[in-house]
Structure 1
């Protein structure tokens, strides 16, 4: 028989022989092919045993909540219709109050962030803390006012000496007080 197959291959080498018992592999497993061959592990079995009652009880609670909500809506609908002249303005008032509160908070946060931005930009522009800058400016202003006071005092002293001949001038001048820093 093998000799006959060889002779046939020699006569027609361009033909492909297909044997019926060598069919292409196809999917025959169904859902069983998706499951592991060994079976589920102990951890998987415990997880299923644990999660089934929890999931079932949560599903039951969801159903009870839905039924309670529907009953509450059926009872409350006539009350909403009867009291709508009161409830609608009250709802508008409450919505306005909430909007005002949120707007106030937004404006407050915007103001604080603006002040923070100005503070940081001022610090970056001067290269130092604004309070140190302000302190230095106050000290410079104090020194300037002290020098001006001393100059004015000396001017008054010189004019007083010229006009009165110098009597009693020392007690009225403030030349020493303004010169300190």
Structure 2
């Protein structure tokens, strides 16, 4: 039995090709893996812009909790991120894919119901989107991004609740502050003033207006002007911010994290502006009510003074009439004498 010499010459070459193929296949299955803790943001992560991918293991998940995995990246680099959430340690190819989007919101209990006791992974993939339109500028080979897994409370991340608490506090202050500016004699109505006796009216007339009323009036004016100015300034800044940021969102969409930040900031700005404006209007309304009540108080004093003057004039008239009658009665007696 004879062998062809060409077969022996091609043998080493075929063996080398098989080895290189196996090495490339093994290298292709090896994927970069990192750990992503809940509530800890990984900053300045880097991936190749062309078909870059990285696997993150989610740790710190609790049952009956909702979580959100989101990515933020520079808007100057047009890219398309894809997130794949899988359960199990046997690989993504056979793992159950739950979502395929740029922003993942999931419940940890739903992962446990899959019946797999393995770990939870999220695969981050990126592809370039568009081309560089600036002449002489080369396309980027890598992209930098931040990734975080946050726990949600009523659909809002824990870090965003600070803004919600601040807005609620401003609204509460706007509702509570006017109650301290109300006059102490608010419960007295017009009927009570009409039923005052003459001695009470005299005491009220002699009493000078209290000093704290003037101080409260000045404080209300200052606070109202400050709140109205702050409300107008916040509203103007929020509108300008929306006008400047809307074109970037349209050009570089979808960028979910910047859009969410802009939405939260805009909502907080409008709510803060509304709360400040409400507080300022409440202060102005209190000033109007106080001025009106003071006007009624002085009007009552003028009516009381007019009544006193008319009473004195009536008394003088009666005394003059009595004096005239007395003179008339004395005149015949003087004539007879």
Normalising by structure 2, we get a TM-score of 0.16
Higher percent of residues as helix: 1
Which has more radius of gyration?
Answer: 1
Which structure dedicates a bigger proportion of its chain to strand? 2
TM-score, normalising length from structure 1? 0.28
Bigger relative contact order, structure 1 or 2 (CA pairs below 8 A, ≥6 apart) = 2
